[in-house]
Amino acid sequence: MAGTPDDALGWVQRADRETSLLFDVFVLGNRTRTLVVEAMRGAGLRPDEYAAYSVLFEEGPLSLTQLAMRLGLPLTTVADHVRAMTERRHLRRNANPTDGRSTLLSLTAQGLRTHRRASRSFELAHAALREHLRPSEEASAREMLRRITASTERAIAALPARRAG
């Protein structure tokens, strides 16, 4: 309950009362979502849908599990996306030649067109952000983001033991 209405530092970072790295990630995620939502108004896909289309476009065909891992989302969430994409006839399923238990997902011609159209809007956001980051800064930012993501992955795995302990 620190801070008074006159305290100009009331809503900026304070050395004595630190929020966590997780809070910084939360705020960054919120701001980038705002950027992409603004850029993608009327683009035909929401930002999270666009991410799923992009992964299939860039890296498909993929199994549901691979798609979920690549997006960093729970399987159930990705299954919802896949259902919606299938209903729009944007997704094709083929037998997985290396694993008879799973199918591989890829975009249909219609899905590819939808992705390409949405890409133009997404690129507005991407270009606007890159204008404000030096290329060297972007490279080190991406490396750092992946390091934190890898640490988060290990933290998720360690959580049950920590909760029990």
Among 44, 49, 58, 100, binds a second copy (CB under 8 A): 58
Among 62, 91, 105, 118, binds a second copy (CB under 8 A): 62
51: contact with a second copy by CB under 8 A: yes
Among 39, 45, 85, 91, binds a second copy (CB under 8 A): 39
Pair of tokens at residue 12: 């900026």
29: contact with a second copy by CB under 8 A: yes
Task: Identify which of residues 86 and 108 has a Cβ nearer to a second copy in the complex.
Answer: 108
Among 67, 85, 91, 118, binds a second copy (CB under 8 A): 67
85: contact with a second copy by CB under 8 A: no
d(CA 35, CA 127): 11
Residues 117/44, Cβ–Cβ less than 8 Å:
yes
Residue 91 β-bridge partners: 107
Q: How far is the CB of 88 from a second copy (least distance, A)?
A: 18
73-139-65 Cα angle (round to 5):
20
Q: Terminus-to-terminus CA distance in the chain, angstroms? A: 31
Token look-up 């790295």 returns 21
152: contact with a second copy by CB under 8 A: yes
132: contact with a second copy by CB under 8 A: yes
109: contact with a second copy by CB under 8 A: no
Of 112, 103, 117, 109, nearest to 57 by C-alpha is 112
